[in-house]
Amino acid sequence: MVAPDAPGMVDGRKTLPDECKALWRVAGPVILTEVFQFMIGFVTAAFVGHVGELELAAVSIVNGVVEGLAFGLLLGMGSALETLCGQAVGAGQLHTLGIYLQRSWIICLVTAVALLPVYVYTGPILRLLRQSPAISAVSGRYARWCVPQLFAYAVNFPMQKFYQAQSRVWAMTAISGAALGAHALLCWLVVSRLRRGVLGAAIVGNVSWWLINAAQFVHIFGGSFPEAWTGFSRKAFARLGGFVRLSLASAVMLCLETWYYTAVIILVGCLKNPEIQVGAVSISMNYHIWALMVTLGFNAAVSVRVANELGANHPKAAKFSVVVATTTSAAIGMVFTLIALVARKQLPRLFTDDDLLVKETAKLGYLLAAAVFLNSIQPVLSGVAIGAGWQSLVAFVNIGCYYLVGLPLAAVFGFKLKLNATGIWAGMLIGTILQTIILFVILFRTKWQKEVCYQNKETFDFLGLGVVCVLQCKFHGIQAGSLSGPARSKARNCRRAPFRRQACSAESPSERETRTNQRLDKHATSVRHALRP
């Protein structure tokens, strides 16, 4: 059953304070969770750095390349839950969340198995890429020892989306914070005191990530989500095709964004005498990542808000959420932008004392500031795409803007025009600007009322989830006959249902007839108001 609107709300529309509160209820804990989980890898590298330079280089390559690939791909595969669970929560179909979670586990675990060869053969792959034989050997051993982390990611990311879709993320944040503290203590004990080196670091990382999973298992299975989690079910293996398509689209969209910055670093590494240039770009990227963590919180928050409102048939509220999230994130991004501008000569000193490297990094200051501001907006727009289920569309936009425009321009500016790292960064920035403009155009042209019905038809038709509200579809010109299979039969059984979708299988026809007749008049006015052109 869909919860009634809060007092002071009309047709799902909220006031600005209400919407800000709803956004920060998700964004705040997600930002902290991102920081805590990022710090797990940071703490590992810090302790390994005291073991030796070779070990630090090996761990850095595995964390940045191998685990970065797995992390991005699995996080993308799990992001389908942001669309489906978010819309299910808005529609009041909480009983479907557990099925979605299990389906996502199946898909992510299969993906992890497919990624196993990358971990097993990291050493030969790095040697093939002409990396140092010594670094390749240590990296290969470390990657094999980190295989349990690969499967930990596959289990963890769907649970993250399960929490986020219900705006109940503080438990996840507390668990991640406690795991970070335990990780630091175990690293000190195993790596520093017991001197187990890289092997010890890998074991501690495995333990920390599986501790997070175990705590979340206990929280979910222990009755904290009685409506959303009702136990394991065979239904998780049904209708996986549509789920796989949405998961793949989410993964492609996210990976295209993540690999864009990796490609930029590779281009910089191809410059003549790249040591200083790579160092300058790496320092700039470090600041950029910390600023991006805040934006990623709003990415998660707006995807949840948009999915919830679309699922609840509140198109105007979904549009309002987009406006508030984009404005808030841009305002915070402006603060980071001003810091990058004002302290462009001081920030590099946090990372290095080399005067030449500081000077080269300062040259990137203006471009870094522009990138920080753009990336306070662009991830929010991507979050809207996830919430609305536009992953495939945005993936094509990313290919065109990043890989057909941004990277070619970066190569021309950096190599042909001999602008070095500055030119490569400028080319990257042009691709990001173009992508942001296109996403804004898509948003401005979106008919949110039609989007509500389209998303419902997609969800109910090829995924076969929940019950269709025929009255709502009728106002959008979509008849039950355009649906297929179980969705059509359920729609016919729910022909007299009011505006909000409701589960009708638990009622007898006479009881449903009486209830809907009593409520139909009450909802008629609000239906016409919400769905008028």
Per the listing, tokens 């915070």 go with 332
β-sheet bridge partners, residue 10: 13
pLDDT at 34: 87
Long-range contacts of 198-204 (CB under 8 A, 24+ apart): 198/48, 198/51, 198/55, 198/58, 198/59, 198/138, 198/141, 198/142, 198/145, 199/141, 199/145, 201/44, 201/47, 201/48, 201/59, 201/142, 202/142, 202/145, 202/146, 202/149, 203/145, 204/44
**Which letter does DSSP use for residue 412 in this model?**
I
User: Which ranges of the chain have pLDDT less than 50?
Assistant: 1-11, 458, 460-507, 516-517, 520-533
What does DSSP assign to residue 339?
A: H
Residue 509: count of CB within 10 angstroms of its CB = 10
The per-residue pLDDT for 7 is 37
Q: Report residue 10: phi and psi, to 5°.
A: -125, 120
pLDDT given at position 511: 54
234: buried, middle or exposed (CB in 10 Å: 19+, 13-18, 0-12)? exposed
Which DSSP string do the residues of 350-379 spell out, in sequence order? GT---HHHHHHHHHTHHHHHHHHHHTTTHH
What does pTM read for this prediction? Answer: 0.76
Give whole-number Cα distances, 514 to 93, 510, 511, 520, in Å.
22, 6, 5, 10
For 80, 103, 156, 385, 493, the CA distances from 392, given in Å and listed in that order, are 11, 20, 24, 9, 33
Number of Cβ within 10 Å of residue 227's Cβ equals 12
pLDDT for the residue numbered 445: 87
The rounded distance, in Å, linking the Cα atoms of 94 and 230 is 10
- What pLDDT does residue 89 have? 86
pLDDT the model gives residue 455: 55
Q: Please give the pLDDT value at position 91.
A: 79
- Dist CA 178 CA 183 (whole Å): 9
